[in-house]
Amino acid sequence: MTSDAPVIVWLRRDLRIADNPALQAAVARGAPVIPLFILDEDTGWPLGGAARWWLNGSLTALAAKLAKLGTTLIMRRGAPDKVLRAIVQETGAATVLWNRCYEPAVIARDKAIKSDLQKGGISAESFNGALLFEPWELKTQAGNPFKVFTPFWRTAVSAPAPRKPLPAPKKIHGYGGKVTSDVLTSWKLPPVKPDWAVGLRDTWIPGEAAAQDHVDKFHEETVTEYVKSRDIPGETGTSRLSPYLAFGEISPHQVWHQANHWEPGAGQAGFMRQIIWREFSAHLLYHFPQMPEAPLRPAFADFPWTRDKKALRAWQQGHTGYPIVDAGMRQLWHTGWMHNRVRMVVASFLVKHLLLPWRTGEDWFWDTLVDADLANNAANWQWVAGCGTDAAPYFRVFNPVLQGEKFDGDGAYVRRWVPEIAGLPDAWLHKPWEAPDMELKKAGVVLGKTYPAPIVDHKTARIRALAAFKKIRTGD
């Protein structure tokens, strides 16, 4: 092998040019660079439908950007070890570089691939492009991983500052030889029959450029009011960066250092705290790899969950009879995203009002969210269910009526996503079953026909939930 042997940059959840440590290291070597994306559908959790749609757009944007810089994105489908071995043989590549992922199954696979490559005389090296801190860097005073967010946050902000983002290469020395690539359309990532992605296309533009646009717009228009507006689902009060971070179209280092230069205030601090919450979830997954599939509090293994398929379907379709819950579930289906405050409400409704397993909700979110992230999804569902390390107290049962009245007082959110009750006055919008018959008639609402009656009574469901949670806590 000569010094001109190409370098393979194996791209995964880092679909960007700027602040890409593996790509930066490859370019610095001066050898031809082969950017490679492998569609691996057998390791860990296969992408859900909404995430597959996003991936298609993200790869399209990345391929175009790489082409402008002088190289071609190679796309292959299959087992990564076999694909890498094949491309090494086809091109004579001497080095494979990648940025680390922290999902349990992926860690095990990557270790095996690195060992296999090195045994074959191929240099293999990985980098941190996904987290501000490696999971083993932040520890309690006793040397253990954090299980509670607040001390994790304090330790993170008092630690040495995360490295500064790396600049985007101005040019990439592409590989001049022949190497075959799949055609992206052959992967059939977007839905076709039926095409349910119309709302996703109307809402999102995947890609690195769009990610930066979101940061800039959030800074210019929203951050000063972030602490207040982030809880109002009818307003654009959040950054909506989650899918871009999930696919690595922007790095946490880029977001952190940009935010660090914004005008100090509650909005800036609150936003940076959310970046650290993402970090906390990733660290939890690294130290507790069972988190996506098993409760971190063992007592919850015996929780008396129900198996009500009809109730689950009503929740999934946004037909529970509780407007704020239904609005959230319909927003999710249409856009692949749901406001954070409403995510907590709908999750609490599933596990506490309906007593359906949190894993059921986790699976549904995984399939329908464009920002589906294994660590965030699992950690947040366990938080709401009360079975995580740093969990909501078991007696906290969100009242969907009060949540709607408090955070959607003018009804902007519910009226958008539940238009069949939009004509109701604010006083009855979040509890249409209590509205006088005259008001229902004026609004054209017929409970049980044009809009469902509540599938459970809040007070009854709360009493049932508290009894079930108390039973496992006391061991009765």
Q: What is the pLDDT of residues 241-267, one digit of tens each?
A: 999 999 999 999 999 999 999 999 999
pLDDT score at 2: 41
pLDDT higher than threshold 70 for residue 476:
no
Read off the pLDDT band of 91 (50, 70, 90): very high
Contact present, 47 and 108 (Cβ < 8 Å): no
Exposed / middle / buried, residue 327 (Cβ in 10 Å: 0-12, 13-18, 19+): buried
Cα atoms in the 13 Å half-sphere on the side-chain side of 88: 21
Q: Percent of the chain, pLDDT > 90?
A: 95
Report pLDDT digits (tens) over 170-209. Answer: 999 999 999 999 999 999 999 998 999 999 999 999 999 9
Q: What is the mean pLDDT of the chain?
A: 96
- The conformational region for residue 248 under phi > 0 = left, psi -120 to 50 = alpha, else beta, is left
Dihedral sign, Cα of residue 317, residue 319, residue 325, residue 327: positive
DSSP-derived letter for residue 416 is: H
DSSP helix/strand/coil, 16 = coil
pLDDT score at 395: 80
Residue 415: closest CA among 424, 402, 403: 424
The percent of the chain in helix, strand and coil, each rounded to the nearest 5, is 50, 5, 40
Homologous superfamily of the 298-471 domain (CATH): DNA Cyclobutane Dipyrimidine Photolyase, subunit A, domain 3 (1.10.579.10)
Q: Name the β-bridge partners of 34.
A: 8
**What's the rounded Cα separation, in Å, for the pair 463 and 393?**
15
Residue 284: closest CA among 148, 115, 151: 148
Compute the radius of gyration of the chain from its Cα atoms: 24
Q: What number does CATH give the domain 131-162+208-287?
A: 1.25.40.80
Q: Do domains 7-129 and 131-162+208-287 have the same CATH topology?
A: no
List the domain boundaries for the chain. 7-129, 131-162+208-287, 298-471
Mean pLDDT of all residues in 360-367: 98
Report pLDDT digits (tens) over 370-388. Answer: 999 999 999 999 999 999 9
Buried b vs exposed e over 447-462: b needs ≥16 C-beta within 10 Å?
Answer: beeebbebbbebeebb
Q: Percent of the chain, pLDDT > 70?
A: 99
| Tokens of residue 430, six digits | 């979040």
Let me know how long the chain is: 476
Dihedral sign, Cα of residue 267, residue 273, residue 279, residue 281: negative
**What's the rounded Cα separation, in Å, for the pair 365 and 346?**
11
pLDDT score at 389: 85
Exposed / middle / buried, residue 435 (Cβ in 10 Å: 0-12, 13-18, 19+): buried
Report pLDDT digits (tens) over 27-74. Answer: 999 999 999 999 999 999 999 999 999 999 999 999 999 999 999 999
Contact present, 93 and 7 (Cβ < 8 Å): yes
Buried b vs exposed e over 287-297: b needs ≥16 C-beta within 10 Å?
Answer: ebbebbebbbb
| Tokens of residue 150, six digits | 């607040």
Indicate the helix (H) or strand (E) that contains 22. Answer: helix 21-28
DSSP helix/strand/coil, 129 = coil
DSSP helix/strand/coil, 126 = strand
Homologous superfamily of the 7-129 domain (CATH): HUPs (3.40.50.620)
Write down the residue that tokens 């927003």 correspond to: 331
Report pLDDT digits (tens) over 315-329. Answer: 999 999 999 999 999
Report pLDDT digits (tens) over 93-144. Answer: 999 999 999 999 999 999 999 999 999 999 999 999 999 999 999 999 999 9
Read off the pLDDT band of 474 (50, 70, 90): low
